[in-house]
Structure 1
Amino acid sequence: MTNLNIWEQFIQQSQLRWQEVLMSTFTHIQLVFFSMILAIVVGVTLGIVITRFPSFVTVVLGGAGVMQTIPSLALLGFMIPIFGIGIKTAIAALFLYSLLPIIRNTYTGIKDVDKGTREAAKGIGMTNMQILFKVELPLAIPVMMAGIRTAAVINVGTATLAAFIGAGGLGDFIFLGITRGIDGLILLGAIPAALLAIILEILLSSLERWTTPEGLK
């Protein structure tokens, strides 16, 4: 099949299914949004905890690393007995898949804060919590945001597999296109997913610039 035929199919399917595309895009955004919120809350917390308790570094990073090595479809399959088929399972799997870069970058960002800066903060009477929130986390923001951006972009692509467990999203069109042999349908799912990843990267990059202290930009 020529490229022209593929694009003709894509245009035809877009005209026929644009409402479905909008609904699936909204579902896809929901999957990514809720799984990322959970991953950021848990990942940043764990990243902070292991900077305070170094003995847990290997266990936490190793456990999150194991999640990354499990194939996406297999991880979705493992979640089905716990959450059943549908959105909950997809969010749980995407959450686990997103943890490693967030935990690792939070840990690295805080550990890389200059020791002299910490000592200066202690010298002016800051408590450990004040040092964390007023010194360490602001200075670690660029590294932490890099981990969040990586997790988010990976999440958008992985979320297309949610179609295989009935969770919806743009993967529905990819799955349907593969089973029916219609390349235009595959593009109908792949192109919006790629655009979502690009838009998310731009938004998070802007957020990173906004939250980064002036001296680090």
Structure 2
Amino acid sequence: MSFLDYVSENSTRISFLFLQHVQVVLISVGLATVVSILLAMVTERLPKTRKAALSITGTILTIPSFALFGLMIPLFGLGVAPTVLALTVYAVFPILRNAVTGLETVDASVVDAARGMGMASRQRLWRIRLPLAWPVILNGIRVATIMVVAIAAIGAAVRGPGLGELIFRGLSRMGAANALNEALAGVVAIVVVAAVMDVLFLIIGRVTTPRGLHA
């Protein structure tokens, strides 16, 4: 059976796993975004704490995916929970790094002007600094998303949802009928997810970036 014939015959299953993959990625990145932005805001006046947070989250990226997913099993068992948690942990660093960079690079004169207009610190943060830092933050979210799309496939090792199931099952059956097609379908579908997500974030950037900040 050719690859295209395999995809056609198994389109329902592939589509279901495709949607699962997208969902687990969006949930994980959404959680990581909230955690990262809050962490960047809370540690703004605590440079040592901020540096430690960046160092710890950066170090976590060096942990092999299989190892991190495996470490989640004793605590959270198998399935969605360890998958989402592991992906969230991986996604924090690029978002946090860009959130910190974005907030630090906002033009001081703009912030001073807002202060001169009587804006409180919280107002300056929400109405001036975060909107101006948003393009940088969004780029961090975009990078984290593309990274997590690939890592999410490892979630199949802990019975997590998504396209990793096709890859793991196909590789475990290598040499059997359609095993290669199955693994290849998972790989191709993940590439498609990454491409779709990338385009989506480009559109979001265009729509949500303040007009004066467009390139």
TM-score of the superposition, structure 2-length normalised? 0.94
CA contact (8 A) 2:24 2:161 kept: no
How far the C-alpha of 1:15 sits from its partner, in A, is 2.7
Report % sequence identity.
Answer: 36
1:123 is aligned to: 116
CA contact (8 A) 1:35 1:91 kept: yes
1:60 is aligned to: 53
Structure with higher helix content: 1
Match of 1:185 among 182, 185, 188: 182
Cα deviation, 1:113-164, whole Å, max 9, x if unaligned, reads 1111111111111100110011100110110011000000111111111111
Cα deviation, 1:148-196, whole Å, max 9, x if unaligned, reads 0000011111111111111131011111121122321121101111111
1:3 is aligned to: none
Q: More displaced, 24-33 or 11-20?
A: 11-20
2:160 is aligned to: 167
1:29 is aligned to: 22
1:91 is aligned to: 84
1:152 pairs with 2:145: yes
CA RMSD of aligned residues (A): 1.2
Q: Which runs of 5+ in 2 are unaligned?
A: none
Q: Distance in 2 between matches of 1:37 and 1:9?
A: 38
Q: Distance in 1 between matches of 2:191 and 2:136?
A: 24
How far the C-alpha of 1:55 sits from its partner, in A, is 2.3
How far the C-alpha of 1:52 sits from its partner, in A, is 2.8
TM-score of the superposition, structure 1-length normalised? 0.93
Residue type of the alignment partner of 1:44: I
2:103 is aligned to: 110
SS state at 2:181 partner: helix
SS state at 2:134 partner: helix
Q: Distance in 2 between matches of 1:10 and 1:138?
A: 46
Q: Distance in 2 between matches of 1:137 and 1:190?
A: 37
Q: Distance in 2 between matches of 1:161 and 1:18?
A: 22
Work out the number of aligned pairs and report it.
210
1:206 is aligned to: 203
- List 4+ stretches of structure 1 deviating above 6 A: none
CA contact (8 A) 1:9 1:185 kept: no
CA contact (8 A) 1:50 1:107 kept: no
CA contact (8 A) 2:95 2:140 kept: yes
Residue type of the alignment partner of 2:67: A
Q: Distance in 2 between matches of 1:101 and 1:167?
A: 23
1:14 pairs with 2:7: yes
Residue type of the alignment partner of 1:59: A
Q: Distance in 2 between matches of 1:10 and 1:151?
A: 31
CA contact (8 A) 2:99 2:137 kept: yes
